[in-house]
Amino acid sequence: LYIGGPRGSMIVPDIFDSYLLIGDETALPAIGRRLEELPAGRKVLAVIEIADAAEQQMLQSAADVEIIWVMRGQDDLLDVVRNLTLPSGALYSFVATETKLSRQVRRVLLDTHKVNEQYLKAVGYWRAEGSDEE
């Protein structure tokens, strides 16, 4: 399985029972590609933050996929992630949003959900204007 983005790409071995994919519009191509590659028998929970319902897309997969669309400005992505029921089994988590938000989501996954840090990839796909962080 291949995940690509502006900060490079990576190959993730298909050794997991389930996948948690969290991103925003900028991560939709990577999430869509991941879903297309996953075989039947895998569980996927995708949490995708978008500006409005018009940005929702049909995403194809042989896997058992649940998608939660989070409307920016109406719902809080961090609250949604805090309240998730994660898929069972060996879990791989992928987070790709704005840089600061990716770090916050990563903390929630580690602290609240106790995901295995070894199988968690959180990347900043972009930086909010006015962000003074490097």
- The structure tokens listed for 131 are 């962000």
Residues 54 and 77: beta-carbon distance below 8 Å: no
Structure confidence by residue, pLDDT tens digits, 111-120: 999 999 999 9
Residues 61 and 38: beta-carbon distance below 8 Å: yes
State residue 129's pLDDT score. Answer: 81
Q: How far is CA 42 from CA 18, 30, 69, 87, in A?
A: 5, 17, 20, 10
| Stated pTM of the model | 0.87
Query: Alpha-carbon distance 38 to 134, whole Å?
Result: 34
Structure confidence by residue, pLDDT tens digits, 5-49: 444 455 666 789 999 999 999 999 999 999 999 999 999 999 999
Q: At 73, which amino acid appears?
A: G
- The structure tokens listed for 20 are 């948690």
Q: Is 109 helix (H, G, I), strand (E, B) or coil?
A: helix
State residue 10's pLDDT score. Answer: 53
State residue 126's pLDDT score. Answer: 84
* Cα R_g (the chain), whole angstroms: 14
DSSP readout, 43-74?
Answer: EEEEEEEESSGGG------SSEEEEEEEEBTT
Structure confidence by residue, pLDDT tens digits, 40-93: 999 999 999 999 989 999 999 999 999 999 999 999 999 999 999 999 899 999
Query: Alpha-carbon distance 66 to 1, whole Å?
Result: 19
